[in-house]
Amino acid sequence: MDLIVPTVYLYQLLHNSSSVYVKNRAFESMVSGLCEMDRPREADNLIEEMRVKGLKPSVFEFRSVVYGYGRLGLFEDMLNVVEQMENQGIAIDTICSNMVLSSYGAHSKLAAMVVWLRKMKSLSLPFSIRTYNSVLNSSPTIMSMLQEPKDVPCSIEELNGVLNGDEALLVKELVESTVLDEVMVWEPLEAKLDLHGMHLGSAYLILLEWFEAMRCRFNSGKDVIPAEVVVICGSGKHSSVRGESPVKVLVKQMMLRMESPMRIDRKNVGCFVAKGRAVKDWLC
């Protein structure tokens, strides 16, 4: 009964209000609510009903239905909605793509994820941290290895040696993206890598990419060696167990194994720091 009353009220607003704004908000709320209740087909039908009556669905409604179908593993329906978006001139964006990837990942459809990542590249859609999170959370080999971070491969080459098939292809597609460039800074006073917002698998792969990128920049001799190098991993404020950051544990284990000069910053326990020249000597 609690769900029926607001639904009826929204439906009445949708059909009886003279305000386009009110109609749009009611439409948005109904579509979103139906999808949250795992009723995407009803939401899909509502979109068609409203289209006939002249109310044009926005990207928000389409995304809700895409993810609603995807969460339930109804991939043919999910892709049909994506096709509808394209046919109506609504561009597929990174947010929508991440929903598709997350849906495939939740059902272990790794081959489909590879195809979708390549579609994103063909459409010139940038990958994001959420793209990494959605993909790597679905990699059974990587997620299994990260349960014991003391034993994880410490280079992309080593990682490729233990991955096979679709998992290897997924990593290949990710490392060819520009996400690392967006989370690292290289300046004379400081070189910085920010792992905020990354799930464990994403932080792991980005860290491996960062090691290689730093080594290349140091060896090129084109850039001034930064005075300090910082890796920001957080102190665990947003972790499932407050104060225990899985990313921080991972970074610490990898730094110790690789005999890195980077240590936890006394002033900020969520960071690892070292002198730039010490990091250069270590990596090169």
Q: Is 31 exposed, middle or buried (0-12, 13-18, 19+ CB in 10 A)?
A: buried
Per CATH, the homologous superfamily of domain 4-133 is Tetratricopeptide repeat domain (1.25.40.10)
Range(s) within the chain of domains with CATH label 3.30.1370.110: 140-283
Q: Which CATH architecture has domain 140-283?
A: 2-Layer Sandwich (3.30)
C-alpha gyration radius of the chain: 23
At 235 the pLDDT is: 66
User: Full-prediction pTM beyond 0.85?
Assistant: yes
Query: Do the Cβ atoms of 117 and 173 come closer than 8 Å?
Result: yes
Cite the residue boundaries of each domain of the chain with CATH code 1.25.40.10. 4-133
DSSP, collapsed to helix, strand or coil, labels residue 272 as strand
Residues of the chain with pLDDT under 50: 1-6, 239, 241
Query: Quick one: tokens of 98?
Result: 């991440």
CA gap 150, 224 in Å, rounded: 33
Q: Which pLDDT score, from 0 to 100, does residue 237 have?
A: 55
CA nearest neighbour of 197 among 189, 206, 186, 185: 206
Q: Beta strand pairing status for 190-194 and 228-232?
A: parallel
Residue 242 has a pLDDT of: 52
